[in-house]
């Protein structure tokens, strides 16, 4: 197996989507192929649209009037792609020319924001954040060497 995605039909909105997608590191173009086939599959099944899902932190903290917390999240988005490829995910989804809709995270106190960010990143990374970071670092080191 070189890649997979789980299919989720959304009956009320008459759209298809996925929740999880994974691929082997070196399989160039496989996710593009997989998504095109998923879109075709849902169209063949009579669904009106395909939801590419979220693009976490994309566009957050880029305006001068944005809060300090949002600017911190933007810094995280820009500089911590070893932990989770926020930019890569956004770039991947953006090439399908989707209709982007904002989603918001509501939190009780700004002091909880780093912990929330780490929790979301850990879930998106598939579990152990340190293990994910070390694996990415090691893979990058082997590729460069």
Banded pLDDT at 129 (limits 50, 70, 90): low
Place of tokens 């300090």: 68
Q: Give per-residue pLDDT as tens, 83-92.
A: 778 898 899 9
Q: How far apart are CA 35 and CA 30, in angstroms?
A: 9
pLDDT value for 122: 75
Instruction: Give the global pTM.
Output: 0.73
The one-character DSSP state at 126 is T
To the nearest 10°, report the CA torsion of 58, 86, 32, 27.
170
Place of tokens 């590191």: 25
Banded pLDDT at 126 (limits 50, 70, 90): low
Residues 6 or more apart in contact with residue 99 via CB below 8 angstroms? none
Per-domain boundaries in the chain: 106-144
Q: Which two tokens stand for residue 121?
A: 């990143």
Q: Is the pLDDT of residue 42 over 90?
A: yes
To the nearest 10°, report the CA torsion of 70, 74, 80, 86.
100
pLDDT value for 80: 79
Residues 6 or more apart in contact with residue 58 via CB below 8 angstroms? 77, 86, 87, 90
């Amino acid at each position: 197996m070189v890649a997979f995605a789980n299919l989720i039909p959304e009956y009320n909105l008459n759209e298809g989507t996925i929740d999880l997608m994974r691929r082997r590191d070196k399989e160039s173009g496989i996710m593009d192929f997989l998504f095109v086939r998923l879109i075709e599959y849902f169209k063949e099944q009579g669904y009106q649209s395909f939801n590419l899902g979220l693009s976490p932190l994309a566009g957050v903290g880029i305006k001068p009037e944005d809060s300090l917390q949002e600017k911190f999240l933007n810094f995280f988005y820009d500089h911590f792609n070893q932990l989770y490829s926020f930019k890569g995910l956004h770039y991947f989804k953006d090439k399908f020319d989707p209709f982007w809709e904002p989603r918001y995270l509501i939190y009780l106190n700004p002091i909880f924001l780093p912990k929330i960010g780490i929790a979301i990143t850990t879930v998106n990374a598939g579990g152990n954040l340190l293990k994910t970071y070390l694996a990415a670092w090691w893979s990058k080191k082997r590729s460069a060497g």
